[in-house]
Chains A and B, each alone.
Chain A
Amino acid sequence: MTDVAVLGAGMHPWGKWGRSFVEYGRVAARAALADAGLEWSGVQSVVGAGTVRGGYPGYVAGATFARALGWQGARVASVYAACASGAQAVAAARAQILAGQADAVLVVGADAAPKGFFAPAGGDRPDDPDWLRFRLLGATNPAYFGLYARRRMAVYGDTAEDFARVKVKNAAAGALNPLARYRKAVTAEEVAASPVVADPLRLLDVCATSDGGAALVLGSIEFARARGVADPVRIRAVSTVTPRYPRTVLDLPDIATDSACGAGAGADAGAASAAVPFRASIARAVYEEAGVGPEDLSLAEVYDLSTALELEWYEDIGLCGPGEGASLLGKGATALGGRLPVNASGGLASFGEAVPAQAIAQVCELTWQLRGAAGARQVPGARVGIAVNQGLFGHGSAVVAVR
């Protein structure tokens, strides 16, 4: 049995609050502890998901949050994996619980984002691919999203209207989520009237950068039972896989893909498995570990950095075949009330991205949905949920939670 229980979930609302990420993380942590009915002194470990935007305290996020909550001697870890930091924090906490090192672990991620584009860390660093893509190409994150979107239009026949429909769907869900930054319905006309950021994507196709914080209290199943929680939401699997060589699909922050030349030299098995693109391999690993498949899902939280990217995720996590994402969306299958709601939380479209908090926030949403406590955006009878994400530099992130 590799399940761990979600004892508590909590968030600081997303927005642009102008305060330190430490404050957001502390608020989220206290909310998660209160939800678990535990004192801060009742957890034996804290894992922080780091941020590169808070200076040194951001790199040592675990200790930063522990200090803000008041030193109580818990063991500490800090992890950083860009957008996948939250999933790595969950994975680290889970490993400690399954190893018997802790009954209850607090997981926290929070960020305070700049206005506008994310930029690389400062200084002259010509050995850093993230610095080079900005220096030589001005290739912002939305530039990559624009490339993927145009590619879909050319290969699958997706249209700007298909992309806008994702925003309309996610905004409708986000309007029902008090923790979301944007809580207003959006029309296709409003998307089409917003300025182009990176052709073919418009402002309302691309997710914003936000402040926010999210936290979970995870514990062993025995500990949950001893506290009278007989049927907790369980994290059944976590995937933090890396890509396989040769990685032939362009990804942030790279200036080029690997070369398919010479891939077969040595072992053919490696070349064959490389045929599964990275995002699909993230989902495959978590399904395998959980012993479930896409047909078992009640809902999915996917990383919609752009509207077009949400459609890619449908295909990558097996909700439909390659190129069928827009059609699945068009049928209403992925909207609230549909067969398999995607981003019932409102997604990044409604939250904006608070990098290290985002994967944790996805698990908060799964938790509330699986408890039947998601209010107006509740997916009826939710039993199995997946959350997927990808951190730049090759970080997979996926969680399957069940009830």
Chain B
Amino acid sequence: MLIRALHDEGVEMIYGYPGGAVLHIYDAIFNQDKVEHILVRHEQAATHAADGYARATGRPGVVLVTSGPGATNAVTGIATAFMDSIPMIVISGQVESSLIGSDGFQETDMVGISRPVVKHSFMVQNPEDIPMVVKKAFYIATTGRPGPVVIDIPKDVTDPKRKFPYSYPESVKLRSYSVPAKGHTGQIKKAVEILLAAKRPVLYTGGGVVQGEGSALLTELAKTLGYPVTNTLMGLGAYPGTDKHFLGMLGMHGTYEANMAMHFSDVVLGIGVRFDDRVTNAVSKFCPGAKILHVDIDPASISKTVPADVPIVGSVTSVLEEMLELIKSSETKVDRKALDLWWKQIEGWREKDCLKVTPAENDVIKPQQVIQCLYDITGGDAYVSSDVGQHQMFAAQYYKFDKPRRWINSGGLGTMGFGFPAAMGVQFAFPGAVSVCVTGEGSFQMNLQELATCLQYQLPIKIVCLNNQALGMVKQWQDMQYGGRYSHSTYSESLPDFVKLVEAYGHVGIKIEKFSDLKTKMEEAFALKDRLVFIDVMVDPMEHVYPMSIKGGAMKDMILSKTERT
């Protein structure tokens, strides 16, 4: 019944791992061929794979795990999806209803454990409730600000002996849950007036634009106005990364020009962003001269950290459409003179060329060069899933995403071990696409068991490992704030031979140690179109990610290199 309901909901694929409490469900899976089940090797990977699938497609990812350890293993992935507002359904088995509360074998209170990191959760009491609960769960997970929903099902509820007349509900109505649709027209008018009167405007856009399918409208808005755009880490691809109006990413490791433009702006239009501390730096010093216009579907996101002068609650597409219409019909026109001056100032900042890569000596590879090479080889058109660390920031800075849903990373929770399984979800969603995982030797070791899953399902993922023989991001902070005392962040003497490791799993491994080999060997790897290839690139271990904002400062306060700051 559960599987039938999933099928009726349009689910084509679920990621899972069996166990006692879900055996009835697994038997139902065995007896059908409509919903494909993907067997992962760890429940955390199931959630990240479903998450990657959801980020790449916009459709909810579905996970099935057993009770107890199966459920707790899924929690990290649920929290990851929650922080980035990703639609996901996690079905967890539970011990029989009669055993709940008795510390039964493999019992954990999944609804309780997951509570702070889900949008909502259900405990199914009766078999006949399954269709309605599934319908509600998908509705809640995918509408408004999306998020993960847990469905906890005691084993007796899925017992095939308990039959009931099945019908899948066509629609749901929840009196206690409403989705804000259109923004308040008066507020939108006010925002447009301020926007058109701006002399130093910036469009600051984020993951909400990607999730809300607002990229095309955002691009139209920016082009109509001629205003500069900056994206958050979550928003990369929401606006074309190669466009001249694009200032690059903003925030802690954002570009000089993006952060300077934000700081000196007079109007900031935030769309689908949440004024996260990694963006704003010290809130008290944030954009001192700017009026803040904030569009978001979640009212609780607005004025949470930075008070908005004009708050607009609504879906990105409806608000942007209304804004565009108002702009086109408005008497007031953009102040071209002021805008020209503003662009001149921005060009001045751009000249600093803050992402310029100075080649190393002795044929040593700089991590940034690897991403540049990856960009060239894939024509900028790959799906890039990333883990967490320096390599993530290099990927975000140097791979210029022109399309939304191509950049897949754990921005909010920063979960190491996310990238590889997420790249699997992407590859499952788009078997013909180039699915790349940019990782570090640290992060990769947090979910490498999935090499087996990739063998089973023949996933030709390309794993680009920026191997700096250290927990590089931790080490960077220790360099900058702890006098270079590398407490438990290096392990160069105990690294595995990754080439042999992936070969043991039946895949191809390539090690690159010299810059002069980088291009040819990378090309070689990407030419193996139907194989998983692990590319172990030994990079300069002393490299830092720059620019980097100075803690406690304003957005304009940045460290630009080991020797230069603003």
A binds B: no
